[in-house]
Amino acid sequence: MKRTCDNWQDKLPVGKSGIHLYEEFELRAKNVSTEVFHVKRADEAGKIILDIVKETGAKYVASVWCPLVEASGIVDELKDNGIIVYTEQIDIAENIDITDMGISGVEFGIAECGSVCQDALAIETRLVSSLPPLHIAFMESRNIVPEIGDAIDIISGFFTEGYVSWLTGPSRTADIERVLTIGVHGPGRLVIIAVDEGMDGGAV
């Protein structure tokens, strides 16, 4: 899978980023209608996602690989529950317009504005996070930077080529009578699953 950066984890500012910013991040994310779930281990995500599947009646899911998605075991769990899950690039491309839910990983959160930063170079990552009506994003809860400026500093450190997106709540518009309405062209729901369990094996 193509990445703008091979190791985002190493780029986070030591001492500045961390789980101490989680509360502020969660507050700001929820303020813009992001649904946030905080779990200790990735495998706890299964129940959350299955509940959403039940609630929405989702039948087709597209999921792109990331360490947390893998650790959650969600792809197999969904399949066991009779859901069709696309994980290969060509399957995603072929079926994205009928997909009910996209699953992907994001690199870090920004406390100041409740955004998450996604390495969106891989086409499949962009497809699953921008076309289906619902997008579920996995994030490590310790990977949160304080401000927009810190996030730009990280990107500035290595970025020459690629595609990076910040996602902040669901797709929205206020173009008719300034009435806030969600789900125009992008997902009408953004769900973030913040996982404490560190992917390099360390506890948080």
Partner 1 sequence: MSKRRNLKKEIHEKLNDEVLRDALGRFAEEYPVAREKALENIEDVETLRESLKSMKRDSVERISELADRFEEEAIRHGVRVFRAKTGEDLKQYILDLCKERGVKCIVKSKSMASEEVELNPALEKAGIEVKETDLGEWIISLAGHRPSHMVLPAIHLNRYQVSEYFSRELDKSIDPDIAFMVQTTRVALRESFLNADMGITGANFGVAENGAIGLVTNEGNGRLATTLPRIHVVIIGYEKLIPTMKDATPILRLLPRNATAQLMTSYMSIISGPTPIMVKGSDGWKEDKKEIHYILLDNGRLTAAHDDIFKEVYQCIRCGACLNVCPVYELVGGHVYSGHTYMGGIGTILSAFTGGMKEFEDFNALCIGCRKCTTVCPGKINIPDLIEEMRIRSVKENGLPFAVSKIFDVMTNRRFFHGLLRVASVAQKPFTSGGLVRHLPLFLGGMTKDRSLPAIAKIPLRDRIGDVIKKIEKPAKRVGFFSGCTMDFVFPETGENVIKVIQDLNMEVVYPEGQGCCGKPVSATGDVEYTKKLAMNNIEAFEDFDVDVIICACPTGVEQIRDYPHLLEDDPESKARAKKMADKVEEFSSFVAREYEKTGRLKKAAKKADAVKITYHDSCHLKRVLGIYEEPRKLIESLEGYELVEMQDADRCCGMSGAFGVQHSNLSIPMLTEKMGKIKKTGAEIVACACSGCMVQLQGGIDQQTPDKKMKHIADILAENIKDQKAI
Site for partner 1 in 15-54 (CB under 8 A): 28, 32
Q: Which residue type does 51 have?
A: D
With a CB cutoff of 8 Å and minimum separation 6, the contacts of 45 are 37, 39, 68, 72, 74, 138, 193, 195
Identify whether the C-beta of residue 156 lies closer than 8 Å to the C-beta of residue 1: no
Comparing CB distances to partner 1, the nearer of 78 and 128 is: 128
Q: Which is nearer to partner 1, 185 or 201 (CB)?
A: 185
DSSP structural state of residue 57: T
Q: Which stretch binds partner 1 (CB under 8 A): 14-22, 40-48, 119-127, 192-200?
A: 119-127
The tokens 């495998």 sit on which residue? 43
H-helix or E-strand spanning residue 49: helix 45-56
The region of 11-19, 35-43, 56-64, 107-115 touching partner 1 under the rule CB under 8 A is 107-115
Please identify, using beta-carbon distances, which residue of 40 and 159 lies nearer to partner 1: 159
Cβ closest to partner 1, residue 39 vs residue 110? 110
Q: First-to-last CA distance in the chain? A: 27
Residue 112 binding partner 1, by CB under 8 A: yes
Give me the least distance between CB of 204 and partner 1, in Å please: 25
* Residue 130 binding partner 1, by CB under 8 A: yes
Distance CA 197, CA 69 (A): 12
Give whichever of 13 and 149 is closer to partner 1, judged by the CB atom.
Answer: 149
Q: Cα(59)–Cα(103) distance, rounded to whole angstroms?
A: 14
> What letter would DSSP give residue 184?
S
Question: Per CB under 8 A, which of residues 63..92 are in contact with partner 1?
Answer: 89-90
Q: Which residues bind partner 1 (CB under 8 A)?
A: 2, 28, 32, 89-90, 93-94, 97, 110, 112-115, 120-123, 126-127, 130-131, 147-149, 152-153, 155-156, 159-179, 181, 183-187
